[in-house]
């Protein structure tokens, strides 16, 4: 049971990495409900059960199907997740943040070492015509890690949109200025004005504490 739960979470992580990336996502038919083709990734020439897509299996795998739908809705809801312009890591509009920036457990200090299992990606909403920034945290380490959060603009807070661990248990505790992300988990946050909520079909909606930019 524990192994199956971990496998499902890793599938959710992979779908999040795909659907929240810039560009056009490509999902192979059946990926949204764990269709595996028994490991055969080249079954186009086989007219048999290996290459057929059995849509009846979606009934038994509704959790992942609904999760995929929520990811698609999340992608559509935030223009920063599908910017039509190329991002180059510069602040051409002089907003105080680059259009895209990369981070480690310390905000603004990415760790590109070969043994690193963590990455934070901050998307500046101003470059997609919105005020809301989006911060994606990838913790592929097997243990929980604490991530600094970039400082919000005055009068704004970080709100959680997605948590692939599904336990919804890591709002930022006072007085810490970081977000504890469980092992092998993807977390997505957005910056909102105090008291502002957007109606969406997100997996989680948790308010998290405004923190200082490093």
Looking at residue 90, what is its pLDDT?
Answer: 97
Nearest to 32 by CA among 76, 57, 68, 71: 68
Instruction: Tally Cβ neighbours within 10 Å of residue 86.
Output: 8
Helix-helix angle 62-77:2-19, to 10 degrees: 30
* Alpha helices (H) in 80-159, listed in sequence order: none
Looking at residue 195, what is its pLDDT?
Answer: 64
* Residue ranges of the chain whose pLDDT lies below 50: 168-176, 199-214
Looking at residue 167, what is its pLDDT?
Answer: 52
Q: What's this model's pTM, rounded to 2 decimal places?
A: 0.84
DSSP string, 100-112: EEEE-SBTTB---
The answer to whether residues 191 and 133 touch, using CB atoms and an 8 Å cutoff, is yes
What is the H or E stretch that residue 73 is in?
Answer: helix 62-77
Q: DSSP assignment, residue 131?
A: S
């Amino acid at each position: 049971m524990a192994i199956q739960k971990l496998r499902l979470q890793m599938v959710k992580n992979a779908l999040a990495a795909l659907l929240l990336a810039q560009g056009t996502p490509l999902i192979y038919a059946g990926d949204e409900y764990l269709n595996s083709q028994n490991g055969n990734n080249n079954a186009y020439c086989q007219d048999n059960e290996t290459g057929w897509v059995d849509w009846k299996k979606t009934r038994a795998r509704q959790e992942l199907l609904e999760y995929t739908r929520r990811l698609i809705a999340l992608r559509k809801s935030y223009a920063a997740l599908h910017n039509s312009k190329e991002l180059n890591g510069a602040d051409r509009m002089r907003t105080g943040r680059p259009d895209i920036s990369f981070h480690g457990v310390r905000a603004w200090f990415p760790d590109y070492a070969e043994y690193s299992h963590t990455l934070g990606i901050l998307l500046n909403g101003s470059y997609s015509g919105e005020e809301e920034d989006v911060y994606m945290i990838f913790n592929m380490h097997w243990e929980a890690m604490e991530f600094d959060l970039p400082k919000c603009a005055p009068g704004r807070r970080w709100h959680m949109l997605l948590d692939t661990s599904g336990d919804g248990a890591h709002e930022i505790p006072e007085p810490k200025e970081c977000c504890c992300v469980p092992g092998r988990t993807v977390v997505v946050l957005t910056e909102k004005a105090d008291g502002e909520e957007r109606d969406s079909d997100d997996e989680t909606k948790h308010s998290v504490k405004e923190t200082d930019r490093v």
